[in-house]
Structure 1
Amino acid sequence: MEKKKIVVTNRVFPETRALLEAHAHVVVNEADEPWPAEILLEHCRDAFGLMAFMTDSIGADFIAACPALRIVGAALKGYDNIDVDACTRAGVTVTIVPDLLTVPTAELAIGLMLSLGRNILSGDAAIRKNGFAGWRPSLYGAGLDRATVGILGFGLVGQAIAERLQPFRCRLLASDAARRPETAFPHVTFMDMEDVIAEADWLVLALPLTTETQHLIGRAAIARMKPGARIVNPARGSLVDEVAIADALATGHIAGYAADVFECEDWARDGRPGDIDARLLADGARTVLTPHIGSAVIHVRRDIELSAARCIVDAIAGRSPAHAVNAPAGALLEVVDDVEPAPHKNVSGGR
């Protein structure tokens, strides 16, 4: 019997490729850059399975053009770059990786906070440019000890961030649409989102991107923040309005912005900007910007790929894949219920 075709849209670890090649004919993008949309579609027209990453936008037109497709194994937790409804109608199962990204993303969030508050990048740049002649009264910043930290979204990532902030003796506030039992998190005070925004010295975003959360942190939300507060975004670029952030930095209303994600990379969002606001790039003193490295830990990335690959292998074998987020007609699937729901309209790529 001829092996089924599986398309992998980005370069992967040898272990991942070996696992898939033991069960399928595998086509892998070995380049540093994503395939253009037309090249990806050409590879997928006769494919049984697709391993998708955050650089891919899998919409209804794409699904309709790939009639043999039966499994999209996303190497992602957030899957807002995939039209799950279209997949379901076409009989395509979508699987995700629900928890492997939690810890490294939370670790990076803490790193962004420390780098921004303590002027670590500015200090490094000063030494490299000017040399070091000894201590000077400069680069005074903000620590985390006993700071009020507001976390918007209290799923697995939000919880992991809160856990890692406890040793800093922070006052932890959170808004939580799922209304998790407060007794399970005695170190956290749950509030309405507006109150968290108003009281936080540090505002950390841990939300999925949906049509409801796009530009959640815009001019109105920023106006409610304390003067001198800082914003940290390890979640999705378009949760914030980057133009409004740059304006607030320029006026001094907020003291800093740190981000690992940006509006320009939210591939499936209509009208996304083509680049990061130039003022954010120029403001090295009050911004810390990293290139979406929240899950960029070697063993984590390998495990993410292998998890997605195992789901694809299960589908090839006729088994119900783990971590499915939909249940197409005729498929006996265990649908994941401990992840953020897909939005009704896809607006961004997932981590």
Structure 2
Amino acid sequence: MQHHVVVTNRIHDEVLARLQTRARVDMNPGLEPWSSEELGRRLRPATAMMGFMTDRIDDTLLAQAPQLRIVACALKGYDAYDVDACTRRGVWLSIVPDLLTEPTAELAVGLAIGLARHVRTGDAVVRAPGYAGWRAHLYGTGLRHATAAVVGLGLVGRAIVDRLSGFGCAQILGVDPAARHPAARNVSLDEALAVSQFVFLAVPLTPSTRGLIDAARLARARPGQWLVNIGRGSVVDEEAVASALHSGQLGGYASDVFACEDWGLPDRPRQVPAALLDAPRTLFTPHLGSAVQEVRLAIEHRAADNLLAVLEGQEPLDHINQPGLIAA
């Protein structure tokens, strides 16, 4: 049987070559994702799919792919992939659970430093006509002697704590009812927001975390707080963050993630709110958490490992479901 693999994003040549040894590969060569209609059309003859963050997989789409045996995700957070639908349809769903951890934690700390030390504003000052050297301005805040809180102590959250431990913070707080880190003192979210100068959001998007940081919590937070989000955009109310920035209640907001990217939410916004883009004291990156060359290559290889295992009649290494088995 000639296998047919759909790859929804451009991948490295060496990973593509691996897949082509076992299957005919239909790869999206561009940066823009296929529409759901286009993806459905391409999946009709497919045996396997390598998916990325810009994809949304639900039962309607799976119904158009009767031969599909695996969706191998080149990502960790799978909130836009319907696990139960895959299971009912007899389709394996696999992720890449840990290769994104270290680079994402590095970026989180980098965003915090860049935000609190006014790197974006300083860059503009140097580039402006007439720059003549140092002047006594743009004084910011450092991590040394600061209280920092990490909300979510999964792999990424724990890696952020590890890195903060080397910066001489006065204390590191952890917010997670199900996990601990020896270098962090676990507290409630309200306590963390009330006392911390830096707050790092590292939680996945779930019904309980959507809108976790809203207007009410921001109003009760420590004034002048620096908030860094590398989890999911919809974990915060972006309009409320913008309002808190404009009022001065929030010291600054840095984010690598945005609500418009949360494809699993039918009511997601279609763009970053103008109020947030126009707000002062912000620093944004376009989902660069895992955008390290060797890391992206390793992620693609791991997704390919999972995909090829199924084509060879084996279980994928990183599966998160058991096709045909679903809880009542």
TM-score by length of 2: 0.96
1:254-284 CA deviation, whole Å, 9 max, x = no partner?
Answer: 110000010111112121112112122223x
Q: Which has the higher contact order (CA 8 A, sep 6+)?
A: 1
- Structure 2: which 5+ runs fail to align? none
Q: Which residue of 2 aligns with 1:247?
A: 243
Distance in structure 2 (CA, Å) of the matches to 1:165 and 1:11:
34
1:184-241 CA deviation, whole Å, 9 max, x = no partner?
Answer: x332101122212222111100000011111100112112210111110011010001
- Structure 1: which 5+ runs fail to align? 331-351
Q: Which residue of 2 aligns with 1:342?
A: none
Q: Which residue of 2 aligns with 1:140?
A: 139
2:257 alignment partner, one of 255, 258, 261: 261
Distance in structure 2 (CA, Å) of the matches to 1:235 and 1:218:
15
Q: Which residue of 2 aligns with 1:7?
A: 6
Percent identity over paired residues: 48
Distance in structure 2 (CA, Å) of the matches to 1:53 and 1:158:
22
- C-alpha contact 2:76 2:98 (8 A) present in aligned 1: yes
1:73 and 2:69 are equivalent in the alignment? no
Per-residue deviation, 1:319: 0.8
- C-alpha contact 2:76 2:96 (8 A) present in aligned 1: yes
Q: Which residue of 2 aligns with 1:126?
A: 125
Two-structure CA RMSD over aligned residues (Å): 1.3
Q: Which residue of 2 aligns with 1:29?
A: 28
Distance in structure 1 (CA, Å) of the matches to 2:193 and 2:119:
25
Q: Which residue of 2 aligns with 1:329?
A: 324
1:207 and 2:199 are equivalent in the alignment? no
Q: Which residue of 1 aligns with 2:296?
A: 301
Q: Which residue of 2 aligns with 1:174?
A: 174
Q: Which amino acid aligns with 2:322?
A: A
Q: Which amino acid aligns with 1:27?
A: D
Q: Which residue of 2 aligns with 1:276?
A: 272
Q: Which amino acid aligns with 1:11?
A: R
Distance in structure 2 (CA, Å) of the matches to 1:291 and 1:261:
7
Q: Which amino acid aligns with 2:311?
A: I
Per-residue deviation, 1:56: 0.2
* Equivalent residues in 2 for 1:154-233, closer than 5 Å: 154-170=153-169, 171-180=171-180, 185-233=181-229
Q: Which residue of 2 aligns with 1:335?
A: none
1:10-63 CA deviation, whole Å, 9 max, x = no partner?
Answer: 000011101111111111001121111111110001211110000000011111
Q: Which residue of 2 aligns with 1:114?
A: 113
Between stretches 268-277 and 317-326, larger displacement belongs to 268-277
TM-score by length of 1: 0.90
Q: Which residue of 2 aligns with 1:341?
A: none
Distance in structure 2 (CA, Å) of the matches to 1:82 and 1:187:
34
Distance in structure 2 (CA, Å) of the matches to 1:35 and 1:168:
43
- C-alpha contact 2:36 2:61 (8 A) present in aligned 1: no
Per-residue deviation, 1:179: 3.2
